[in-house]
Each structure stands twice: as C-alpha cells, then as structure tokens.
Structure 1
Amino acid sequence: MLADARVGQPPMSRAEADAALARLRDERERISAALLELEAHHGYQLLDGASLDGETRRVQSEVRAGVASLWTLFDVYGRVLGAAEELRSRHAKPGQAQLTELTRLLAGPSVELPAEEVPLERRTLLSVPSGERLTLREAVERMTPLYEEAARTVAALDAVWSALLSRLAEVEAERRAAEELLESLDGAEPDLDRLRADLDAVAVVVRADPMALARDGQVDTTRLDEIRTGIAEVRRGLEEAERLRDGFADRIRGVASVLDLLREAEAAARRARHEVLAKIVAPALPDLPETSAALADRLTAVGRPARDGAWNDLAARVADLEKAANDALERARDAAGVISGLLDRREELRGRLEGYRAKAARLGHAEDAELARIHEQARELLWTSPCDLRSATVALAGYQQAINSRAKGVDR
C-alpha cells in the first residue's frame, strides 16, 4: 500500500512509482469493469428505464444517486491517475521534482471532489463548500460502500422483480388462453372480465412498484396466485363449452339414451311395486322415483345449439343435466332392487323351508307329526298371497330349531 505524501515525506523512487502506477492501472480497470457490470445488470436496466412509484421509486432514486456519485468519484480518480501516467510517460528518467509530483499524485491528497460530493456531515454552517481532497486509496475506500450498497439493492430488487414478472407472465398466459377460447366461442364470460380487471390492477403494481409486494425479503404472490386459479377455472369451463360445441349432437344423444334407461328402470320399479303390494303384507317400500319426465323437459330445453355464442352457459347446463340423469338412473335402479328384494326374500324363505324338510327326512323324522305341523304352518304363510314375511320368517326359524333339537336327540 502507498503512504500519504505528507510534509517531510521523501518522494518515491522511480521503481516505487512504477510499481504504484502498475497496481493502480489494474485497480482502475477492475473498478471500471465492476461499474460497467453493475449498469449492465438486468435489475439495474429495469430500474434505470422504468417509470416507478412508491417504495420502488424511492429505491430507484437512491440507486441512481449512489451510482452517479460512484461515476463522479471514479472520473476524478481516473483523471488524477491519468495525470500521473502522462507525467511518467514524458520523463524516461524522472528527476527529483518529477518524483515528488508523482508521489503527490499517487499517494497524496490529490483527488479533489466536487463540492456537491462532500458529505453533509463534513460541512459547517459558515464554510464555503469546496471540494474535499482525498488520496487515491481514500477515493477507492469512498467508492467501495457506494458500490456494495448499489449492487446489493439492485440484486435484491432484481430477485423481487424477476419472481413477480415471471409469475405475472404465467397468469397473463393463462388469461390469453382463456380469451382465445372465449373468442372462438363468440360468447361472454363475466367472471373472466372481473379477473382480467383484477389482473390489470395487480400488473400495474408489479411493473411500477414491485417492492410494495415484498416483505422481509419474501415476495408476496398471493393475489396473482388467486387470479391465476380463478382464470384457470374459467378456462376449464370454456374448454368444456368447446367440447360441447364440437360434440353437441353426441352429448345430447348420450343424455337421451340415459333417459331411456331411466324410463325403463322407473317402469320396472312400478311393476315390482305393484307385484309386492299384491304378494307381501305391509311392505316397507322406498319412494317410487318419477324424474324422467322432468329431465326430458330439461333435455328439450338444452337440446338446441346455443345462440349468440352462449356455449359456456349451455355447457354448464348440459353437464348438470348429464349428472342429474345418471344420478336419477342409479336411484331408480336401487329402488327397483329394494322393491324386488322383498319378493326375492320370499323365494329365499321358500327354498330354505324345503331344504329343512329334506334335512328332517334324512334324519328319519319324515313322519314326525309335530315337525309336519310346524312345516305346514310355515308353508301356508309363505305360499299365501299376500305373504306375511315377518311371521313366515319366525315360523321358519322355529322349524329349523325343532329339526336341530331332534338332530341332537333332544325331545321338545
């Protein structure tokens, strides 16, 4: 390192001066490269060329002021070093006077700052602002924190801005996809209009004041994420509308086919109900489903192609109708199964009764009068219309118990 050229300090030798010049030339090149790299940084380019508001505008002002001070200091620094280089180049063998001047330029307070670059804390009330004098080393030490602060601020802002602009681009791409679908359907979508207005408002903040969406170094993309989710939902609805438009006839035929099956299921449930009421005493029957007529009316209402581009509205109605028809068909088939199950239960009891009778015969009780009486009682209940399933079930259980008792040798 160079020592300051104070009163009484001996001048540098020719070798010392040349070594100092070589080191300072390298230092100047590195400082220049660092400043140019700072100004070429993506974040600085965004900051320098943007029209900003709020907190980001304050940051912009501070960075611009800091970088301007950097260049001013570097310019004065460079002029002093240039003067030293020019002096050395004119004297192949510098004498005492030239070495003294080189020492002053290279190690003394030779860098005179413009008055406006003198920090406020170094001024006094009555002093006439004049340039502060620094050594080349002190000039570098003054530039260093200015550069570090500017670089740190630009990097932080770039991280915030990049994250927000990237997310904004994703949301805008989602919006364009939805808008293209809507245009192809030649329709209107109020939800998309609302979300588009919300996105425009957030985009203004992202581009003009990104720091308003940063807290403690974290980027807040909540609103953008919510808008993207909303637009994606609208887009899915529009895609469904597009599929409906392209396959409208097939979708309508599909609903009509389900309604045909529903009518058959409802008719089967009615027939089963009539039979059960005639053959079973006091059956507990589910409500008889009768929804096919109402669903057929809805099919008629949606069975015509959309007018005025209202495919997205029609898509929702067709999807609802498809679900309603399939649900109704499932309910009708379930009801028919429950109703028919009562007759199936009677047939099951009849079969079990004959099975128990065959078992009694195998055990040698075919002529057992008591078993015959119990059997006949159960048989009469099961073969009488209407059949009392509850009483028949009790009677059959009694018959089974009686046979089992005899199988164990117990006389009851």
Structure 2
Amino acid sequence: MRGAAGPPMSLEGIDHALRRRTEERDRVSGDLLDLDGHPSHELLKGMTPTGETGRRWEQAQVRLVTLWWLFDAYRRVLDHAQEVRAAGRPDLALLTALLSGPSVELKPDAVPVEKRSLLRAVGEWLTLDVVLARMDEAYREVAETMAAVDAAWTELLPMLDETDAGRRAARDLARDLGTPDPALDRLDAEATRLRKAVTADPLGSVSLRGELAATAAAVAARRGALEQAAKVREEYAERARLLAERIEAVAVAEDEARRIRDLVIVKIASPDLPPLPDQAPALRDRLGALDTVGGRWLELVERLTGLERGVEEALAQARRSAESIGGLIGRRDELRGRLSAYQAKAVRLGRAEDITLAGLYGAARDILWTAPCDLRRATVAVAEYQRAITRIGAAG
C-alpha cells in the first residue's frame, strides 16, 4: 500500500464507509451479473461475430475481462477491511488507508497476458473510488455494445422472421399447386443470405434495411400471386363461364353500335363517326386458348385476369361508341325540341303569323325533318330563329 490517506477516521466514520462500500460492491456485483446474463451477451458468446459486430465484440470482451479483474481487486480490499474491523481492537489508520487511500495494487503480472496493454506495465496503486470509476467506464462501454447489438437484432430479425413465414406459406402453396417456382427459389436464396449477414454482423447489417424490406415485399407479392393461382384453380370453371357471358355482352354492345351507326348514316348527313369496335371474336379466341394452359396455374392467373380486364374494357368501349354515335341523333332531336319551344314562344308573343319568323321556322324545320339531316346547317338555322324571337321579345 502506498501513499497516505490523511488522518485516521473515527470508528463511526469507518463503519459508515464500510457500509457504503459494501452497498457499492453488492450493486456492482448485481450489475455485472445482469450484464453477463444479457441475451445478446449469451448469443455473442456462442458465435463468432464478423464485421463491425466482431470488432466491437472483441473490444467488449477485453473490457469485460478488465471489469471483472478490477471488481475482484476491489472486493479483496473490502474483504480485508471487514476482517480488520472485526478484530477486537481495529486499526483505524489501516482501515482509513484501505477505505480512502491508494489500497488497490494493480500488478502487471496479475493481468492476463493478452490483456496487459490495458494497464500500465509498471503497475499502480489506486483508491477504491478510482477503481469504481474505471469499472463504471468499462461497464458503460460494454453495455453500449450490448445495447447496440440488441437494438439491431430487435429491428432486423423480426423482418427476417416475417419474410421466412411468408416464404414458408408461399412454398406450401407452390407445392400444393404442383408448380415449380424459380422466382421463389431466388427469394429463398436471398433471404438466406440476408439472415446469415444479420445473424453474424447485426451492427454492420443495419444498412441492409432497404434490402430486407425489398425482399419482404417481393415475398409478399409472390405469396399473393400463388394465392391467386390457388383461387383460380378453384374458381376457373365458373369464371370462364362468366367470361363467356361477358364476351357475348360485348358482342351485343358492338352489334348495337353498328345498328346505331347504320341508322345515323341514314338520318345524319356526313356524320363524323369513330371507328367501330370489333373485339368480340378475338376475345372468344383468347377464352378458348385458356384451356391449353393446362395446370400451369401461375400462367393461367395472368392470362385469365388479363382477359377479364380486356373484356370489361371492350364492353365499355362498345358502349361508349354506341353512345357517341347515337349522340348525333340526340343532337338532332335536341335541335327539334328547341325549335318547337321557340315556336311556342313566338305564339305567346302574338307573332304566330309573322312572315319573317314563319320563314325562319320553316327553313329550320325543313332541314331538321329531312333525312339525312345536315346538323351544321340545322344548328345555324335554329340559332337564327332563336335570335329573331329574342329580338322581338326584347323590343316588347
């Protein structure tokens, strides 16, 4: 023991210091046991981490050895002080030196050979407070490493577990369908690679979040595709029957568009007509080709859903064409109705016998009731009749 600890403490001071140091020892002992039993510590001890985790773990192991070695030295001095205090006539000067002076000797040859670089090669004497401070520093460094590893695993492993669950479900579906799935094989290999990386180097794998999320999304999408395939296998006959009905509805709508087109050609002069849809025959051929796909359910999903979309689009197009073409007849009828309404207004204004108005009305009516009707000329004629009646009404 080197150096002086100052004037001897009183017996009461000695007992107070002993109680405080004993409480410190028990607290530190509990903290060290908690650290030793930390789940991440247990996992790391049973593996050989790599990368950033391997580097941090190696440093943490060095600090752990130092931490336990310092604690053992602290405990031995405290045990000695308790033995001296228990004597019949305690040596207050010795107890004061043990409890408050540089009483802990750190000998270089007492440190494990591979760890001796942690302490001075010449050895040193430390007070219990200094030893406690060094233990606290080492503890914080080790705890920070454990917390970082635990946080990384806590974040990343559930993502892998969710992906694995999705892969198992997808694999079961593929097996039930009897369909080889190279895409799922590739996802299995990718997930295995990522799990190996995360398990061996969680700290270095934090940057893999994007890859983990992308793999999880790809697995979910593949599982969804396989679920759709299983659903199609169960529903194929009914969906094919409904498709046949919808294709016939397309054919009816296209026939109606042609009928209206033929009517418009007779009723309207020089109509600007859109191309007539004629998709029903091709859709029937596509429906018949589905039967050739056989048990390739993943392929059938794509073809079936594509055909369903195509049928609905064709039906909507046929109906839009019919509505657009039929709008020309509607435009003619709307002009007829407007002409009749303004004729009734002329009667209310007392101008039923007005020669000018009668001439304008007759010209417009002749155009509108002549087939084929020139809509451009009819629009101009009705507008002229309307303006004439408006002028009369404004003049009173």
TM-score by length of structure 2 reads: 0.87
1:57 aligns with 2:54: yes
Structure 2's unaligned 5+ residue stretches are: none
Aligned match for 2:371, one of 372, 376, 385: 385
* Contact 2:2-2:102 within 8 A present in 1 as well: yes
Aligned residues of 2:105 and 2:125 also touching (Cα < 8 A): yes
Distance 1:395 1:32, change over 3 A: same
**Larger deviation, residues 64-73 vs 241-250:** 241-250
Q: What RMSD in Å do the two structures reach over aligned CA positions?
A: 3.0
| Within-5 A mapping of 1:191-340 | 191-214=183-206, 221-303=209-291, 306-307=294-295, 310-340=296-326
Q: Does 1:46 align with 2:39?
A: no
Query: What is the Cα deviation at residue 374 of structure 1?
Result: 3.1
Distance 1:269 1:94, change over 3 A: same
1:404 to 1:155, Cα distance in 2 relative to 1, 3 A: closer
Q: How does 1:8-407 map to 2 (within 5 A)?
A: 17-86=14-83, 88-89=85-86, 91=87, 93-94=88-89, 105-106=98-99, 109-115=102-108, 117=111, 119=117, 122-123=120-121, 132-214=124-206, 221-303=209-291, 306-307=294-295, 310-407=296-393
Distance (Å, rounded) in 1 between the aligned partners of 2:5 and 2:129: 20
Instruction: Please identify, of 263-272 and 4-13, the stretch whose mean Cα deviation from structure 2 is larger.
Output: 4-13
8 A contact 1:187–1:311 mirrored in 2 = yes
Which amino acid in 2 is paired with 1:315?
V
Matched letter for residue 104 of structure 2: V
Change (3 A) 1:26 1:104: same
Structure 1 residues 102, 373: CA separation in 2 closer, same or farther (over 3 Å shift)?
closer
Question: What letter matches 1:65 in structure 2?
Answer: V
- Structure 2 residue matching 1:210: 3-state secondary structure: coil
Q: Is the 8 A contact 2:5 2:96 kept in 1?
A: no
Check whether the contact 1:252–1:303 (CA below 8 A) recurs between aligned residues: no
For residue 284 of structure 1, give the secondary structure of its aligned residue in structure 2.
Answer: coil
Indicate if the aligned counterparts of 1:5 and 1:107 stay in contact, CA closer than 8 A. no
- Structure 1, unaligned runs of 5 or more: 124-128
Structure 1, 161-170 or 109-118: larger mean CA deviation? 109-118
Mean Cα deviation higher: 363-372 or 65-74: 363-372
Q: CA deviation at 1:290?
A: 0.5
Shift of the alpha carbon at 1:203? 1.6
Q: State how far apart, in whole Å, the 1-side matches of 2:219 and 2:366 are.
A: 70
Q: Is the 8 A contact 1:28 1:78 kept in 2?
A: yes
Distance 1:19-1:353 versus aligned 2 partners, 3 A rule? closer
> Could you tell me whether the CA contact under 8 Å between 1:12 and 1:103 is conserved in 2?
yes
For residues 122-166 of structure 1, give each alpha carbon's deviation from its aligned partner in whole angstroms, at most 9, with x where no partner exists: 33xxxxx6x544444443333221112212222222222221223
Query: Alpha-carbon deviation of 1:249?
Result: 2.1
Q: Count residues with an aligned counterpart.
A: 391
Q: Quickly say closer, same or farther: Cα 1:367–1:19, change in 2 above 3 A.
A: closer
- Relative to the length of structure 1, the TM-score reads 0.84
1:201 positional shift: 1.8
Q: Deviations over 1:55-112 (max 9, x none)?
A: 11011111111111211222233234334444555x3x1366xx66656655555534
Shift of 1:408: 4.9
> Residue 280 of structure 1 contacts residue 388 of structure 1 at CA under 8 Å; is this kept in 2?
yes
SS at match of 1:282: coil
Aligned residue type for 2:236: F
Quick one: which amino acid aligns to residue 279 of structure 2?
A: T
Give percent identity, aligned residues only: 43
| Contact 1:112/1:133 (8 A) holds in 2 | yes
Query: Which stretch has the larger CA shift, 132-141 or 35-44?
Result: 132-141
SS state of the match for residue 48, structure 2? coil
1:277 offset after TM fit, Å?
1.2
SS in 2 for 1:122: coil
